[in-house]
């Protein structure tokens, strides 16, 4: 269960209802970050962890809790990145907001090109030794960078990245080239996000109309431009039209078809779903019961090859 919108687009009472429904359905992995909610700012950073922390009371041992650090959370020069100073400060702040004494998975949100990987991994290794973190992972790392990190951990006998969190969907399949084969070879878990390509695969958008106000594609910088640049293209709208046709033929929604396709992909450990309303989650969970035949899978694979 992704929590990126909790405390903003999804108010706290809605966020708690979504988490309750997810757990009832068997979801036991909660993913957050110290920069959330998105959209947000430095002033709102940490609000989502506070929302999750209040929900966690009495439930801590029943969920796998993951959070991230690395994004800018304050005005100072050390309020972002993967330096030892920022990591040690960030984990204490996250634990305080989450109202727990450890997180199961602590992830570097994205690469920090100004900090040596050795420094980052040494700091994370200490968090594992001190019991503040059970395992470490990374998000948005390229295959070569993840491979380098694994090599450093092996060479220095440090805790290694046990997971990676990349975007992956029917319309965004670049990780199939190098990242997924690397993870399969090295036994690294893969938790993918943006399974609906920012919502484009829901089929609710039209290429003839601007994105509706309040949707992810209409947000201000940096979120809106990022998603429009990644997905708002005629070629991908053509693919979505085909997804709608295949979904209708299969008797399911485009959302369910897109998630069901992901569930059948090799190597993936988990899919991170986001929701701002209970009905969004309910529809996505129905994908667990969708079984795709070989012809449909082949047709979906042909839509947007890696």
CATH fold of 1-165 reads: TIM Barrel (3.20.20)
Q: 206 Cβ partners below 8 Å, 6+ apart?
A: none
> What mean pLDDT, rounded, does the chain reach?
95
Window from 47-51, 145-149, 179-183, 205-209 with minimum mean pLDDT: 205-209
Q: Are 15 and 30 in contact (CB under 8 A)?
A: no
Tens digits of residue pLDDT in 276-290: 999 999 999 999 999
Determine the Cα–Cα distance for residues 86 and 92; give it in Å rounded to an integer.
Answer: 10
Q: Residue 116's pLDDT is what? A: 98
pTM: 0.94
Burial degree of 75 (CB within 10 A; 0-12, 13-18, 19+): exposed
Tens digits of residue pLDDT in 172-193: 999 999 999 999 999 999 999 9
Q: Residue 88's pLDDT is what? A: 98
102 is an active site residue: no
Q: Are 195 and 273 in contact (CB under 8 A)?
A: yes
Determine the Cα–Cα distance for residues 261 and 134; give it in Å rounded to an integer.
Answer: 31
Active site residue: 36, 106, 168, 205, which one? 36
Going from N- to C-terminal start, the domains of the chain cover 1-165
Q: Are 274 and 30 in contact (CB under 8 A)?
A: no
């Amino acid at each position: 269960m992704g929590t990126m919108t909790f405390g903003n687009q999804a108010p706290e009472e809605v966020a708690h209802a979504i988490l309750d429904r997810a757990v009832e359905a068997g979801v036991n992995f909660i993913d957050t970050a110290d920069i959330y909610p998105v959209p947000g700012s430095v002033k709102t950073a940490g609000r989502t962890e506070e929302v999750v922390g209040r929900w966690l009371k009495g439930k801590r041992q029943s969920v796998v809790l993951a959070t991230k650090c690395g994004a800018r959370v304050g005005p100072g020069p050390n309020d972002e990145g993967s330096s030892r100073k920022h990591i040690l400060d960030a984990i204490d702040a996250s634990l305080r907001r989450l109202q727990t004494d450890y997180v199961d998975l602590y992830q570097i949100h994205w690469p920090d090109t100004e900090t040596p990987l050795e420094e980052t991994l040494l700091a994370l290794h200490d968090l594992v030794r001190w019991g503040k973190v059970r395992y470490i992972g990374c998000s948005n790392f390229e295959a070569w960078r993840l491979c380098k990190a694994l090599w450093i951990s092996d060479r220095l006998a440090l805790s290694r990245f046990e997971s990676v969190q990349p975007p992956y969907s029917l319309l965004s399949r670049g990780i199939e080239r190098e990242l997924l084969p690397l993870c399969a070879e090295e036994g690294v878990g893969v938790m993918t996000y943006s399974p609906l390509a920012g919502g484009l695969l829901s089929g609710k958008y039209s290429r003839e109309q601007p994105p509706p106000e309040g949707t992810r594609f209409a947000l201000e910088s940096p979120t809106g431009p990022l998603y429009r640049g990644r997905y708002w293209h005629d070629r991908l709208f053509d693919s979505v039209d085909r997804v709608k046709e295949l979904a209708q033929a299969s008797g399911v929604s485009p959302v369910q078809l897109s998630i069901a396709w992901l569930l059948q992909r090799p190597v993936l450990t988990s899919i991170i779903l986001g929701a701002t309303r209970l009905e969004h989650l309910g529809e996505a969970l129905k994908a667990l019961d969708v079984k795709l035949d070989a012809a449909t899978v082949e047709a979906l694979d042909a839509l947007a090859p890696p």
